[in-house]
Amino acid sequence: MNITQALACSSQLEQSSESPQADIELLLCHVIERSRTFLFTRPEYELSSAQAQLFEQLLQRRLAGEPVAHLTGVRGFWTLDLEVTPATLIPRPDTEALVEKALELLAPTAARVLDLGTGTGAIVLALASECPAWKLVGVDRVSQAVQLAEKNRVRLQLHNVEIVEGSWFEPVAGKYDLIVSNPPYIDPEDPHLKQGDVRYEPLSALVAEDNGLADIRAIAGAARGFLNPGGWLLFEHGYDQAGAVRELLSGLGYQSVDSAQDLAGNDRITWAAWGSPEAEPKVGDTFVGDRTC
């Protein structure tokens, strides 16, 4: 089997994948340990028998629905290549909108930034790579996710990030200039949970009660005690949740509430400022909820 013949196998994925050509290219690059450029400059390259066998095995697993990121162990996000395991969410291009907005909200000078439910570390590591002067913390309650994010941090040599284990705000202290989160936001009854890559991802990283808003509500309430005056809270959420999230944040006393779209044109991120020094959480405000990322 040569590269041209291997690439033609994308036709087998047309009924089971939204991106059959890209899937085949990623699997083939992984098998032969070459770049995508190599695929198109050396179409006559012959795979060894071992490579051809591995490629066929991975193709069959992809046909069965396994995510490409789990098959290769890697997913590109922002400018980074991140290791991925089934213990975490797979980083997605839509989440890059969260990174872009965070970089707009804060200057690249000294700032404290917190990422809740860090998973692979995608968001916090992307921000750290862009802003070396920031001091960042990524939090996850799942030890496997913490270990993976730390492994990605070390491999990328990002020294302005700390990865810690705990549920939401439990392991952190002090005030932050920016708190970001891509929390669980899918309703437990959503039929999309039985489709595509999410079937292979941890449900506790995806699902939240209260029509998917429970964890967003919990984080937003507690974040008021962890934001500097004028600090920002920034969420990723479901494509149809922007209005509800804006209403929630406004009701909690946040200011400058707004939303922006993802690559598909859906309102995907919402942010707000905690604006006055005297604004403190009310007595009795609590937060609940965990995330497996």
How do the pLDDT tens digits run along the chain, 293 residues long? 999 999 999 999 998 888 999 999 999 999 999 999 999 999 999 999 999 999 999 999 999 999 999 999 999 999 999 999 999 999 999 999 999 999 999 998 899 999 999 999 999 999 999 999 999 999 999 999 999 999 999 999 999 999 999 999 999 999 999 999 999 999 888 888 888 888 888 888 898 899 999 999 999 999 999 999 999 999 999 999 999 999 999 999 999 999 999 988 999 999 999 985 444 443 334 333 333 33
Distance CA 14, CA 71 (A): 18
Q: Which amino acid is at 213?
A: L
Q: Give yes or no for a contact between 152 and 76, defined as CB atoms under 8 angstroms apart.
A: no
First to last CA, the chain: 38
User: What are the phi and psi torsion angles at 131 (to 5°)?
Assistant: -135, 80
Each domain of the chain, given as residue ranges in start order, spans 3-65, 78-274
Tokens of 138: 């990524």
pLDDT of residue 276: 59
pLDDT of residue 155: 97
Whether pTM exceeds 0.95: no
Q: What is the CATH T-level fold of the domain 78-274, as seen in this structure?
A: Rossmann fold (3.40.50)
pLDDT of residue 284: 35
Q: Give yes or no for a contact between 257 and 246, defined as CB atoms under 8 angstroms apart.
A: yes
226: left (phi over 0), alpha (psi -120 to 50) or beta: alpha
β-sheet bridge partners, residue 135: 112
pLDDT of residue 140: 97
Query: What SS3 string covers 242-253?
Result: HHHHHHHHHHCC
Angle between helices 143-156 and 122-130 (to 10 degrees): 20
CATH of 3-65, one of 3.30.565.10, 3.30.465.10, 1.10.8.10, 3.30.365.10: 1.10.8.10
pLDDT of residue 264: 87
Tokens of 271: 């942010």
